[in-house]
Amino acid sequence: MERIVIVTGGSRGIGAATARLAGTRGYAVCVNYRRNREAAERVVADIEAAGSRAMAVAADVAVEADVVRLFEATDAGLGRVSALVNNAAILETHMRVDAMDAARLQRVLSTNVTGAFLCAREAVRRMSTRYGGSGGVIVNVSSVAARLGSPGEYVDYAASKGAIDTLTIGLAREVAEEGIRVNTVRPAFIYTDIHASGGEPNRVDRVKVNVPMKRGGTADEVARAILWMLSDEASFTSGSCLDVNGGI
C-alpha cells in the first residue's frame, strides 16, 4: 500500500532532503512551501524522476485556513495522508531577548509552534482510528537549541523548539491507542540556508568547534533519521526524541 506524506517546509534544507528521500523509498509526497514555488517544483521533479508521485502546495502553516487547504489539496491530489513531517520553521536575526518585540515573537511562534499544532491536528483527523483512519506517523523536527537555549542569538526560536518537544510527548500519549506514532528528530548544527535568516550564513563553521565530532551535519543525515522514524523499523517508538547532533 502506497504511503502518503506531507513535508512542511519541503522546498529547502532538511525538508527538501526529506521529501526527496521519501520519494526514493516509495512515498507519494506533498511538498509544502510558503513562497518559493520554483524550488518546490524542483523537489517534485526529483521525486517523480525517482518513480514516485509528488505535488507542491503553497501554504503558510501559520495560517489556519492555509493548513486546512494544504491537507485538502493532498486528499484530492494524492490521497489520505499517512505520514506528516512537521518541518516548517523560521528564525530571525540574532538578538537578545531584551531587544525583541511582540511582533517578532508572534511571527516565530505562529509558524514554529501554532503551525506544527495545526498540521498535527489535521493529520490526526485523517490518521486516527477514532475518525475512521488506519493509523499513521508524525515526525516533528525540533532543534538542539531547545536544550541549549541559543543565548545571544535567538532564544525565541529555541523556546519554540522546546514547545515542539513537549508537543511530541503529549500528542504521542494522546493518540497512542488510535494507531498513530509521534516522534521528534532534533538536529544540531546543520548546513542549510536557514542560518542566513539569522544574519550569519556561515554560522555552522563558527560553532562546529563545540561539536565533539568537530563538524556540522548535512540535511541528508537528518533526513535519514526522519525516514527511520517514519518507517516500520520504528514501530514501537513513540513519544521519543532522536538527536542528530554530532555528540553535542
Give the residue numbers spanning the domain of 172.
4-244
pLDDT at 233 over 90: yes
User: Residues 87-122: pLDDT tens digits?
Assistant: 999 999 999 999 999 999 999 999 999 999 999 999
Bridge partners (DSSP) of residue 241 are 184
pLDDT of residue 196: 58
User: pLDDT tens for residues 203-219?
Assistant: 887 877 888 888 989 99
Set 27, 33, 154, 157: catalytic member: 157
> The CATH number of the domain where 70 resides is what?
3.40.50.720
State the total domains in the chain.
Answer: 1
- The C-alpha cell at 15 is 525538508
Q: CA distances (Å), 198 to each of 97, 150, 156, 168, 244, in order? A: 14, 12, 12, 26, 21
Q: Let me know if 27 is a catalytic residue.
A: no
Mean pLDDT of the chain: 95
CA 35 – CA 193 distance, rounded (Å): 15
Tens digits of per-residue pLDDT, 126-183? 999 999 999 999 999 999 999 999 999 999 999 999 999 999 999 999 999 999 999 9
